[in-house]
Amino acid sequence: AQSVTQPDIHITVSEGASLELRCNYSYGATPYLFWYVQSPGQGLQLLLKYFSGDTLVQGIKGFEAEFKRSQSSFNLRKPSVHWSDAAEYFCAVATSGTYKYIFGTGTRLKVLA
């Protein structure tokens, strides 16, 4: 069965510092991978997605993620974090050919001024 693991429940970084949020998935074939961000009391906004092709994908708000098949990972990165990036981040995997998304448990990002 497919699964998504986000090992870090909470992460705190200083504004301007770099960020990496980890995501590991379990799926036999090539998955569809996503990162979403959720602000308190809000829905989810898509940051970026990977379906195929270039393993380094660029997203909105300066985020990028790299798909590493050998490590079953899809880590999210940002070179310089802004205070407005404080939110909850969810990694998700979808079985190719379906819309059933499986979400990780999320990583709550706190940004120190």
Partner 1 sequence: GAVVSQHPSWVICKSGTSVKIECRSLDFQATTMFWYRQFPKQSLMLMATSNEGSKATYEQGVEKDKFLINHASLTLSTLTVTSAHPEDSSFYICSVMGEHSSYNSPLHFGNGTRLTVT
Catalog residues that contact partner 1 under the rule CB under 8 A. 32, 34, 36, 41-46, 49, 51, 90, 94, 96-101, 103-106
Min dist CB 47 to partner 1, Å, is 10
Min dist CB 106 to partner 1, Å, is 6
Backbone angles phi, psi at 52, to 5 degrees: -170, 175
Min dist CB 63 to partner 1, Å, is 15
Residue (49 or 77) nearer to partner 1, CB: 49
Residue 35: alpha-carbon gap to chain centroid: 4
CA distances (Å), origin 71, targets 24, 34, 81: 8, 16, 25
Q: Tell which residue, 95, 78, 85, 87, has the closest CA to residue 33.
A: 95
